[in-house]
A = this chain, B = another copy of it.
């Protein structure tokens, strides 16, 4: 109970739903006749509505970024380390808005929602999405909340890519853009891991080309494998060595006991996979990994990120982590180099951390300090 009353927690929070009835034209050319966004807010919007922060989530994220949904919830929101009173995104100063992306499976319009034209769930027919579609849908939410300009748009991983897209699509609607553990576009290796994850889902007979949603089955084996792929790439070699090494969970190398051998890391991966498969929607996973694959910040700017960023007018904070091999520091330096060449104000912090890509979710002192220091510069409630 104490954590819910912790002075550094936003405490109990209540998700809200915003319904939009004007059509949303998507990048793929199709249209949603209307859509819903589920979101949470933490802190108070000031009178001038100048202290609003938008949080963009990563591949498998959602709107529940901080605090607890109930007294009994076991874990807080996914970015509770960074959002709360006295934390880098300080809810004593900022009004924080955290949205589930469309296409998601946590309440915003997505494959599990009803397609009004057919009266049944969209399922695999949900339109293909790009990061810019999320940006446009969130601009509608900003309109609804009366927020003309975000004090900052902030995200890690895919969320960081979305934040960069915000800076190009609505340059006048954000003052700061915080891009953590992201990249201008995926590498071939990144694409390969996403393909592996999707193939694992496609290979599950229960997936039925995404039609599982109509017949009560769930491709849990495929989704579990996909999550295992993800987990391996979120953790560094170092983090895995520190956390598991070659420790056995069962069996031994003694004569006759070998058939029972299970390494700790095996059991961890299986557990993570199984947990995830009971909570996430496979069609959403396919959709989100494709949006990630298709993201290429500079594609419409002659493939030149410098040209792209000349369209931005905010300031940037870029952060990366030394052992992140999914989106390595070199990928963040590409962002920084392009921003410098485009004459945009940019601060860059490369954090020494063993935790790999997952570091952006962790309470690493140098990370939180650098993040907090930058956020002091962002206009708050004053």
Contacts and interface: CB of A to CB of B under 8 A. Distances in A.
Given A187-B237, A246-B185, A265 B228 contact: no
Contacts of A258: 28, 128, 294
Contacts of A80: none
B199 A246 contact: no
Interface in A29-43: 29
Interface stretch (A83-91, A151-159, A189-197, A369-377): A189-197
Given A128-B259, A196-B228, A196-B269, A240 B203 contact: no
Contact of A189 (B205, B229, B232, B296): B232
A240 to B, nearest CB: 4
Contact of A191 (B28, B187, B222, B265): B265
B187 A241 contact: yes
B240 A189 contact: yes
A269 B195 contact: yes
A196 B229 contact: yes
Contacts of A361: none
Interface string A169-212: 00000000000000001111101110110011001110000000
Q: Helix, strand, loop or mixed for chain A's interface?
A: helix
A231 B195 CA distance: 12
Contacts of A294: 253, 258, 261
Q: How many copies does the complex hold?
A: 2
Contacts of A246: 185-188, 191, 296
Interface in A202-234: 203-205, 221-222, 224-225, 228-229, 231-232
A246 B231 CA distance: 23
A358 to B, nearest CB: 14
A78 interface: no
A200 B204 CA distance: 10
3 residue pairs, one from A and one from B, having the closest CB atoms: A188-B240, A203-B221, A188-B244
A363 to B, nearest CB: 22
A335 B54 CA distance: 50
Contact of A188 (B28, B128, B243, B293): B243
A23 interface: no
A73 B237 CA distance: 40
A256 B188 contact: no
A273 B203 CA distance: 12
Contacts of A265: 188, 191-192, 195
Given A203-B222, A258-B28, A192 B232 contact: yes
Interface string A12-51: 0000000000000000110000000000000000000000
Contacts of A116: none
